A and B are shown apart, each in its own frame.
Chain A
Amino acid sequence: EAGVAQSPRYKIIEKRQSVAFWCNPISGHATLYWYQQILGQGPKLLIQFQNNGVVDDSQLPKDRFSAERLKGVDSTLKIQPAKLEDSAVYLCASSPVAQETQYFGPGTRLLVL
């Protein structure tokens, strides 16, 4: 069974630029999560989808971050414009249903200069 795929693996941009991350969850998983993990900290949930509907996005900085999950499968997370403090690893995870085991992708390491 293929795992959660993410791309790109690394991205370096300058502040005020925009960037997009892509996630392909495990086939059949209804729940998809995007996390931000700053160095030395635990992952912080940005947004949680159930199929193509948003379950929670209370910690998503909506003035600059947006996410969508078209057709309840792949998802993209966008940052526009980026700030220095957005430098982090962005992790995507999926689970068959909410509250169950999450399967994480390798993450995208973002550096904002």
Chain B
Amino acid sequence: SQQGEEDPQALSIQEGENATMNCSYKTSINNLQWYRQNSGRGLVHLILIRSNEREKHSGRLRVTLDTSKKSSSLLITASRAADTASYFCATDEGGSYIPTFGRGTSLIVHP
């Protein structure tokens, strides 16, 4: 079963624009993580946000978490062609310590 579902499924923007993708989940969580996967490569961890946190930053990345709406968003500011990748959110379903990934958002940044 998939806990987190990313939206949109695909996003195409120009270099320099901001990209926002969302993740919705169904049950309570302890934390939520965002990962990036470039074509043909493994997944790379971006940010972990805990259930008692509302916002975290890392460089050009900003993640928010709204536990009342069971949703999170990932904002990439001033996007670059190198940001082209699939982005996944992962949650621990029901606080179970078992990670569940969504289907991902495919981001294309045109130079």
With A42-B103, A55-B97, A56-B98 as known contacts, state yes or no: A91 contacts B43, CB within 8 Å: yes
Our pick among B42, B99, B100, B103 for the contact of A106 (Cβ within 8 Å) is: B42
What CA separation (Å) do A100 and B42 show in the bound complex? 18
With A55-B97, A99-B31 as known contacts, state yes or no: A41 contacts B103, CB within 8 Å: yes
Interface flags for B13-55 (1: CB within 8 Å of A; 0: not) read: 0000000000000000011010100000111110010000000
* Interface of B, helix, strand, loop or mixed by DSSP: strand
Interface residues of B (CB under 8 A from A): 2, 30-31, 33, 35, 41-45, 48, 88, 90, 92, 96-104
Interface residues of A (CB under 8 A from B): 33, 35, 40-45, 48, 55-56, 91, 93, 98-107
Which 7 pairs show the lowest CB-CB distances between chains A and B? A42-B101, A104-B42, A104-B43, A98-B97, A101-B45, A43-B101, A106-B42
